[in-house]
Structure 1
Amino acid sequence: MKGIVKLLFLCCTTAILMLCSSCEESLPPISDTFSEQIRLNQIGYYPAAIKKAVIVDGPETQKFMVVDSVAMNVLLTGTLSSAEDWKLAGETVRIADFTKLTTPGTYLLLVPDLGYSYPFKIKKNVLHEAFLGSIKGLYYQRVGIPLKKEHAGKWHRDIAHLDDSIPFHPSTGKTSGYISSPGGWYDAGDYNKYIVNAAFPLGQFYLLQEQYPELVSDNMLNIPESGNGRSDYLDELKYEMDWALTMQDGDGGLFHKLTTKNFEGMVMPSAATSQRYIVGKGTTATLDFAACAAQAYRVFKTVDSAYAEKCLTAAKKAYDWAMENPAVAFTNPEDVHTGQYGDADFEDEWFWANAELLVATQDSVYRNNIKKKAIDFNFKAGESWTAYMRFLGMFTLLDNKEAISEPFYNSIKNGIIASADRLVTSAQELDYFQPIDDFHWGSNSDVLNAAMVMAQAYRLKGSPKYLIGVQQAMDYILGNNAMGVSYLTGFGDKTPMFIHHRQSAADGLEDPVPGLLSGGPNSRLQDVAGGAVYPENPVPMQSWVDQEPSYASNEICLNWNAPMTYVLGFLEHESD
């Protein structure tokens, strides 16, 4: 029935436009059916931003119109670009450029013979709600407290996983005993907690707070701490930091994860009752923790000096353990089959920890230990939590140039600018103007991590090309992509409905938990054996399915929400 309605709608649209393409009265009425062949940012654009929609396999007409969805009059008429074949997307496309339209309002893009696009806005602070939503998504991942209806709405749930008496797995080097390790966030679609993937996202969240500290004030997120006189953003980050602090052993090293031996089924947290363990200890987790704890010291020192000092003490202690244990790689024990987050190359972690501790303490020990030669400035898709933290260290040093020598500062500055230039150039040549051409697990986070590099170049030089690069990366995430999907749950007209996320699968609600970023296209298709069903031989940018079994393309994860929040916050501050 829905297909028949759409067909009738498109036929009427075509007929009316052919009869009177020049008069506003010819505009077809808005229905609840919008063209899937018109791809654009489903939330909207800043007035001064580049505004481009992608028209896929469109009709012969060369015209497009931007229509005020309230007054139903045409604000702009334009000509589509010549057809191009896009290999990564597997599509023949033309571009509708409506950058000239800067008047605030709510609009639809109309292409004869295709119909209307999803509605979108043009206005200042157009991404403000999505920005706050990406942070509130973290609240829904909280462990060890009930999510009350007054804060969680229809996604409220019972308390689960108190984690107040967790036994040590033998991989920790301990043969008996328990620790209390409550709180924190569930890492991804599962119910486990991992230090590597707590510290790395916290590093990105803290960077935003240091660079733009006024973005989130008290009472903006409706979380239990709202009204305490402190930024809701800091309150949410502290909930995760508090847990990370519990995972430090008495000798300073960090246990790798708190986990069941196998992933739980697709059940609510309160029904996931398998025994949980403290598993492993290693250099990667310890250095990542040292880095983010040093950032926590700087972020909290003006609002909670005692807590800040606690974080700094823990950071130094972790660093000292790593100095004595510089290459302890973690791998899953034979009886543990949850996320490994393993990494045997520690150079990036050392760089990040030295940079953050140097800026926090000004201690020459950390300055002398920073690797100054052969820094890799090339962004690589897929490196994420294994290597991207070197960029976090560089971003911090760029913001604190007094901590390092001028030649070293200049080398980092020039390296980041050169990396951003390569990303900007690639984005303008690639399908959908996104800066990557290789699609791994969490490819959406790769797009956003690349955007963070461009954002730092913009902060350094103020060149519009970098801001445009970041804006178009966000356009990609929010709907201007080969799937025509806004990948942030709950934000946009066509969003993921069946994310690989246990609560969303088990809570009996139609809508998934909002504010969580789907991983995005993944050409590796690792989840086919687990029940995900893809089109036959999908091209890279269409290797995504909105299916709950698709952990390879449709899972959510802390280290994907983190760059999403950073880039949204950056754009809200820097865009006109």
Structure 2
Amino acid sequence: MLIDSGVNLRIVQTNHIFFFFFFFFFFCGQNSKIVLFFFFVDQDELLWAAAWLHRATDDKSYLDYLGQAGNTGGARTEFSWDDKFVGAQVLVAKAEQFICSCIQKGNSNVKKTPGGLLWFLPFNNLQYTTTATLIATVYSEYLSPKRASIQCSGGIVQSSALLDLARSQVDYILGSNPNGMSYMVGFGSKYPTQVHHRGASIVSIKKDPSPVACQAGFDAWFNMNAPNPNVLDGAIVGGPNDSDGYTDSRSNFQMAEAATVNTAPLVGVLAKLA
């Protein structure tokens, strides 16, 4: 494998790294802007990188780095694009506290809606639900062949219970919920029709080739109280509030915005459950 462990370890051992990412040209009318993007790599990403590099190379130096890290995240309340500690913890089998809180057997449990959905935050909650579901699925796979279990403060958790949790969340997302609505666009007979997504909410150029200016997109399409002209098949929206309520309106971006971070974790879960 073409991986230089010496170089990679020096990168991982750097506490904070700034990456210049790219120039992005955005044109709107006669004005153009150059936007500089920087990625700030913090401790969670360094630990996650070390965990993956150890798995890829079996180089003990990466494992040593993980063992010597002063901050391994502790008990986390979410796993997301902005907080990857749980991802690193899962790779080294130390994510029990997060899992216990998701399965309602921890000291500080994740909130659940009356309909049973894991509920973390008002803005795009399903991104956190799908990542938590992936963690439960992966940890179930880790425990099952060992016939092992997790000792939570609220009791023992078997691998089968983690898989049951994953199934319950997938079932909810796909329509087994108080609204009878699938939050995966295009799946089932009832799903969000006003997804907060520019490409889905503006008519195809094949049907209307006339140009759409920046502001015209808002005036003619964003504010139109009608289903999107294009169905964004497979996209998962932000989802309902903590009372299972959902407003199907593209202006309600907290609930209606679709994102790859919502859908991607569910791919792994469905691969297991299919």
Give the TM bin, normalised by the shorter chain.
0.5 to 0.7
- Using the alignment, how far apart are the partners of 1:491 and 1:364 within structure 2? 45
Preserved contact between residue 427 and residue 433 of structure 1 (Cα < 8 Å): no
2:210 is the alignment partner of 1:513 = no
Select 1:502's aligned residue among 198, 202, 217: 198
Q: Is the 8 A contact 1:498 1:512 kept in 2?
A: no
**Per-residue deviation, 1:461:** 2.3
The structural deviation recorded for 1:469 is: 0.4
- Work out whether residues 445 and 564 of structure 1, in 8 Å CA contact, stay in contact via their aligned partners in 2: no
Q: Is the 8 A contact 1:486 1:494 kept in 2?
A: yes
Of 545, 549, 569, which aligns to 2:247? 545
- Please state how far the C-alpha of 1:549 moved relative to its aligned partner: 1.9
Aligned pairs, how many? 216
Which residue of 2 is the match for residue 255 of structure 1? Answer: 20
User: SS of the counterpart of 1:385?
Assistant: coil
Change over 3 Å in CA distance of 1:440–1:355 after alignment to 2: same
Q: How does 1:442-521 map to 2 (within 5 A)?
A: 442-462=124-144, 463-507=159-203, 510-521=229-240
- Asked whether the 8 Å contact 2:23–2:37 carries over to 1, the reply is no
2:136, 2:55 → 1: CA distance? 23
- Residue 390 of structure 1, CA deviation: 2.1
SS of corresponding position for 2:103: helix
Mapped contact 1:260–1:274 kept (Cα < 8 A) = no
For residues 485 and 255 of structure 1, do their structure 2 counterparts lie closer, same or farther at Cα, with a shift above 3 Å needed?
farther
Task: Give the equivalent residue in structure 2 for 1:420.
Answer: 99
Counterpart CA distance in 1 for 2:172 and 2:244 is 11
1:280 and 2:37 correspond: yes
> Which one of the candidate residues 89, 112, 117 is aligned to 1:394?
89
1:355 aligns with 2:57: no
Write out the 4+ residue segments of structure 1 that deviate beyond 6 Å after TM superposition. Answer: none
For the 8 Å contact 2:196–2:251, the answer to whether it is kept is yes
Partner of 1:565: 267
Q: CA deviation at 1:501?
A: 0.7
3-state secondary structure, aligned to 1:255: strand
Q: Quick one: distance in 1 between partners of 2:271 and 2:229?
A: 29
Deviation per residue, 1:28-84 (Å, 9 max, x gap) = xxxxxxxxxxxxxxxxxxxxxxxxxxxxxxxxxxxxxxxxxxxxxxxxxxxxxxxxx
Distance 1:363 1:441 in 2: 39
Matched with 1:116 is: none
Distance 1:507 1:471 in 2: 36
Alignment partner, residue 151 of structure 2: none
Amino acid in structure 2 at the alignment position of 1:479? G
- Give the superposition deviation at 1:373: 5.6
Q: 1: distance between equivalents of 2:234 and 2:171?
A: 16
Partners of 1:561 and 1:275 in 2: CA distance: 32
Q: Following TM superposition, by how much is the alpha carbon of 1:255 offset from its aligned partner in structure 2, in angstroms?
A: 3.1
Name the larger-Rg structure: 1
Superposition deviation, residue 275 in structure 1: 4.3
Answer yes or no: is the 8 Å Cα contact 2:77–2:110 preserved in 1. no
For the residue of structure 2 that corresponds to 1:445, the secondary structure is helix
User: Quick one: distance in 1 between partners of 2:264 and 2:190?
Assistant: 22
Q: Residues 569 and 256 of structure 1: is their aligned pair in 2 closer, same or farther, counting only changes over 3 Å?
A: same
Q: Per-residue CA shift, 1:509-552, capped at 9, x if unaligned? A: 63422111111135xxxxxxxxxxxxxxxx6532x321122222
CA distance 1:253–1:417, change in 2 (3 Å):
closer
Task: Give the CA deviation at 1:274.
Answer: 7.0
* 8 Å Cα contact 2:194/2:248 also seen in 1: yes
Distance 1:493 1:427, change over 3 A: farther
Q: How far apart in 1 are the matches of 2:169 and 2:49?
A: 29
Distance 1:559 1:466 in 2: 21
What runs of 5+ residues in structure 2 fail to find an aligned partner?
1-16, 145-158, 205-227
The one-letter code of the counterpart of 2:88 is G
Alpha-carbon distance, 1:428 to partner: 10
Q: Distance in 2 between matches of 1:553 and 1:430?
A: 15
CA spacing shift, 1:495–1:430, aligned 2, 3 Å: closer
State the Cα deviation string for residues 160-189 of structure 1 (Å, max 9, x = none). xxxxxxxxxxxxxxxxxxxxxxxxxxxxxx
Give the 3 Å change call, closer, same or farther, for CA 467–548 of structure 1 in structure 2.
same
Aligned partner of residue 504 in structure 1, secondary structure: helix
- 1:380 is matched with 77
Q: For 1:72-471, list aligned pairs within 5 A.
A: 254-256=19-21, 259=24, 275=32, 277=34, 279-284=36-41, 346-370=42-66, 371-372=68-69, 375-376=72-73, 378-381=75-78, 384-387=80-83, 389-397=84-92, 413=93, 415-425=94-104, 431-436=114-119, 438-462=120-144, 463-471=159-167
- TM-score, structure 2 length as denominator? 0.66
Q: Which runs of 5+ in 1 are unaligned?
A: 1-251, 265-271, 285-345, 398-412, 523-538
Q: Distance in 2 between matches of 1:467 and 1:273?
A: 54
> Are the aligned partners of 1:255 and 1:281 in contact in 2 as well (CA < 8 Å)?
yes
Question: 1:131-181, CA deviations, whole angstroms, 9 ceiling, x for partnerless residues?
Answer: xxxxxxxxxxxxxxxxxxxxxxxxxxxxxxxxxxxxxxxxxxxxxxxxxxx
- Code of the residue aligned with 1:553 in structure 2: it is M
Quick check: 2:113–2:243 contact (8 Å CA) kept in 1? no
In the other structure, the counterpart of 1:555 is 257
The offset of 1:470, in angstroms, is: 0.3
Say if 1:369 and 1:261 are closer, same or farther in 2 by CA, change over 3 A.
Answer: farther
What displacement does 1:557 show?
A: 1.0
Identical counterparts, % of pairs: 21
SS in 2 for 1:281: strand
SS at match of 2:37: strand
In 2, Cα distance between the equivalents of 1:445 and 1:483?
A: 19
- Give SS of 1:384's match: coil
Measured at CA, do residues 455 and 511 of structure 1 come closer, stay the same or move farther in structure 2, by a change above 3 Å?
same
Question: SS of the residue aligned with 1:493?
Answer: coil
CA contact under 8 A between 1:498 and 1:546: conserved in structure 2? yes
Task: Report the aligned-residue RMSD.
Answer: 3.2
Task: Give the residue type in structure 1 aligned to 2:235.
Answer: L
**Residue aligned with 1:549, SS:** coil
